[in-house]
Amino acid sequence: MQAFDVDILVIGGGSGGVRAARLAAGHGARVALVEQSAMGGTCVNAGCIPKKLYSYAASYAHAFDEATGFGWALPSGQHLDWITLKKRRAAEIARLNEVYESMLVTGGVQVLHGRARLADAHTVVIGNQRITAEHVLVATGASASLPDIPGRELVLTSDAMFDLPQVPRRLLVVGGGYIACEFASIYRALGAEVVLVHRGGGLLGGFDDDLREFLQAEMAAEGIEFRFNTTMQRIQAEAGLRIVTLSNGDRIEADAVLCATGRKPNTNGLGLEEIGVTLTPDGTIAVDAGFQTSVPSVFAVGDVINRAQLTPVALREATVLMDRLFGGGTLRMDYSAIPTAVFTHPNIATAGLSEAQARARFKRVAIYRSTFRALKHTLSGRATRTLMKLVVDADIDRVVGVHMVGEEAGEVIQGFAVAMRAGASKAHFDSTVGIHPTVAEEFVTMRTVVAEFHHDVLVAAG
């Protein structure tokens, strides 16, 4: 039997890689992990964590306005100290970087810093060091991609949005997905004039249509301008400004331009194709249901494969894979009904099927929907509204989709996602006593079907 330096070598210190390394070590495996930059990956350094912190910061702009409706007399001229926010965010991220590395080291993982490359199916080269491993896990994630247009060097990616010199007076956002919508919403609340340009006809393709339309209306009410069915053709610098020409001929002046039109897998320079690892047409690593590549000793999880690009998904994939390699092999990855949130203002959260997906899958679908002004805003003075929606397979009364647009939507939907995974019926929802007064209770008090579909035919509506 061939002797290897380690049982598994993990390339990438992001969410999936760190989880895999820690679990493997916990199973008693000899583990090494290689990371070329700050520990924690996109989520910790330039994604979920800093973006949510900035979303919190932006929410105070609304909170100050709302407080007066509850009798608080605040000093006039509330002002954001942008430098302080950036410094405190950077300090928190640095703390998390240290926590991640400490967890690995104390857990018995050998941590290596540098650029890794696969020399063969069992050998990884890091600088002048060569390490052999029985298994190699690639968890290198993805990074922002930019369009090939004149002036693309003047465009910012999401990574740069946390350390701008100041909040731009005018921000142009290109894209209509999670990242584009979140930064448009955050910077609008922080005081920027925001124009969002998207090649599609609406925001957040793939989400339930009611949620998409409702969020778009709420963001427009906050002052965000939308330009749909158009693309950015070129960008120029003039007198410190960015001049963007759109496909319809319009020219927009901005202080900063964020392009959030997609992400590409981080596979360059890893030596994957040289050793026979197959890549998909979009550049991701092709894997089977067990995350194994075309080279049996090489595996991949997270954003570098063509699955759902979400941090909790990468964590679960890593958990399932380490159980397969070093545990009992009983765990499975299920991509159905994955809950997710978009931290716009207001938030979106969803789990399960959209109305359109349910109608394509089931014979009879019942829709329950409620829109209302939350109790808080009866005094706050804000006109913002909440949308809550249930999608039900009417033949068996099972809830197959839960959707919400409103404050703390992610916190609300998480628990309902558990219920849905457990097979909860609409009758279970109806028999659950609500917590009053809360927004969440609306999910257990909706009794009226607003639409019912048989195949693709609308048979009842209210």
The residues with which 144 forms a beta bridge, in sequence order, are 263
Cβ 419 vs Cβ 351: under 8 Å: no
Long-range Cβ contacts of 41-44 (<8 Å, 24+ apart): 41/12, 41/13, 41/14, 41/15, 41/16, 41/17, 41/141, 42/14, 42/141, 42/142, 42/143, 42/303, 43/14, 43/15, 43/311, 44/14, 44/15, 44/93, 44/96, 44/97, 44/100
The tokens for 204 are 């957040």
Cβ 304 vs Cβ 142: under 8 Å: yes
Residue 450 CB: number of other CB atoms within 10 A? 15
Alpha-carbon distance values, 398 to 250, 395, 402, 446 (Å): 49, 8, 11, 15
Q: How many whole angstroms separate alpha carbon 29 and alpha carbon 22?
A: 10
Q: Is 377 among the residues known to form the active site?
A: no
Among candidates 296, 290, 304, which has minimal Cα distance to 332? 290
Element holding 67 (H helix, E strand): helix 48-67
Alpha-carbon Rg for the chain, nearest whole angstrom, is 24
The tokens for 240 are 């410190």
Degrees to nearest 5, angle at CA 190 with 63 and 250: 135
Alpha-carbon distance values, 72 to 58, 273, 448 (Å): 19, 63, 39
Among candidates 353, 370, 357, which has minimal Cα distance to 447? 370
- DSSP, collapsed to helix, strand or coil, labels residue 233 as strand
Name, in order, each residue with C-beta under 8 angstroms of 393's C-beta and a sequence gap of 6 or more: 358, 362, 364, 365, 400
Alpha-carbon distance values, 232 to 157, 183, 254, 260 (Å): 14, 18, 13, 12
Catalytic residue among 27, 436, 454, 455: 436
Residues marked as catalytic = 436
